[in-house]
Amino acid sequence: MAAATNLLTSVFILYLSFAFQLFPSGNSELQSSFYGESCPRAEEIIKEEVIKLYNEHGNTAVSWLRNLFHDCVVKSCDASLLLETVNGIKSEKDTTRSFGMRNFKYVATIKRALESHCPSTVSCADIVALSARDGIVMLGGPRVELKTGRRDSKQSYASDVESSIPNHNDSISAVLSRFGSMGLDTESTVALLGAHSVGRVHCVNLVGRLYPTVDPTLDPEYAGYLKARCPTPDPDPKSVLYSRNDRETPMILDNMYYKNVLEHKGLLSVDQQLASDPRTAPFVERMAGDNGYFHQQFARAVVVLSENNPLTGPEGEVRKDCRYVNSN
């Protein structure tokens, strides 16, 4: 009797292990060197293009980093960000949350190089992930190993953008719970916001801290500088006025961001709140004091972000042109 039960149990366990191997959960299908056989030079080609583009337009590397965030946070890392508005279906990049995003035309440069080597093989979602990885290196950040095999969405999720991507003035609690839902803990969230060590912020996203009264958590001298950059409370939304995220090393992904935040020179409200919230402040202090630790945590967090809920296997498709879904 006992023997029969044991046999049944082992058969059942065997069955379970097969079932899980035959139908692995989405996440486990990302793998290292997914293109090892189908397009062996894929990762090399992306890196070469990222370097070439960086040498012509340094801020492309900054864009690749922001693209990773905006793509992966909405639904999944599926290149839904890159779709154009078609037949009245709004693109994610045309929403207000995506204000200021740039350099999309150079994604096409990378895709063209891949298509000429291995047509219809490398997904736009993997281009988003790997270009961010290589961009981070160009900006002096850490080298991150990323898995590949992401597939492209067949649709845009513009209506999910506002609920998925935090606003510049959201509370840290809201930010932590949003990032937490993607498996990013508090330390990772603090590290990822270090991306604001590079790039710029337009006045529309700043004036709330300057007018009618200056946010008391802003260093007064710094507030004066920002008012000079953004002289009116109602900037034309199309206005090109902006401020650098980090005036000292604006194109280097380093821990200057945390030093600035500790000196009350955080640009966005969410940046500044990191220094005052008791959950995040200890990490801010540690990152401000140790660039190596920041890089280590940043690298760890980028991996988690880049693996948010990917489409894999037969899901989605590999787009030929990152701006449009393939027609049948």
Considering only 64-72, 86-94, 258-266, 281-289, which stretch makes contact with ligand HEM by CB under 6 A? 64-72
70 is catalytic: yes
DSSP tag of 83? P
Residue 200 binding result from ligand NAG, ligand HEM, none, given CB thresholds of 5 to 8 Å by partner type: ligand HEM
Q: Is 168 in the site for ligand HEM (CB under 6 A)?
A: yes
Residue 196 binding result from ligand NAG, ligand HEM, none, given CB thresholds of 5 to 8 Å by partner type: ligand HEM
Residue 169 binding result from ligand HEM, ligand NAG, none, given CB thresholds of 5 to 8 Å by partner type: ligand NAG
| CA end-to-end distance (rounded Å), the chain | 57
CA-CA distance, 138 to 64, in Å (whole number)? 11
Binding mask 156-195 for ligand NAG (x = CB under 6 A): -----------x-x--------------------------
Q: Is 202 in the site for ligand HEM (CB under 6 A)?
A: yes
CA-CA distance, 123 to 238, in Å (whole number)? 32
Tokens representing 95 are: 């929403």
49 carries a ligand binding annotation = no
Cβ neighbours of 188 (radius 10 Å): 22
Residue 208 binding result from ligand NAG, ligand HEM, none, given CB thresholds of 5 to 8 Å by partner type: ligand NAG
Shortest Cβ 193–ligand HEM spacing (Å) = 6
DSSP tag of 263? T
Could you give the C-alpha distances from 171 to 30, 267, 276, 277, 310, in angstroms and in order? 33, 15, 12, 10, 27
Please name which of 198, 165, 170, 169 lies closest in space to residue 182, comparing C-alpha atoms. Answer: 165
**Alpha helix locations (H) across the chain?**
2-22, 42-56, 59-73, 105-117, 124-138, 161-164, 172-180, 186-193, 220-229, 256-262, 269-276, 281-289, 291-306
Residues 103-162 that bind ligand HEM (CB under 6 A): none
Secondary structure of residue 89 in the 3-state scheme:
strand
Q: Which is nearer to ligand HEM, 117 or 279 (CB)?
A: 279
Q: Exactly one of 114, 127, 128, 201 binds ligand HEM (CB under 6 A); which one?
A: 201
State the residues that interact with ligand HEM by CB under 6 A: 62-63, 65-66, 69, 99-100, 102, 166-168, 175, 192-193, 195-196, 198-202, 205, 268, 270
Residues known to be catalytic: 70
State the residues that interact with ligand NAG by CB under 6 A: 167, 169, 208
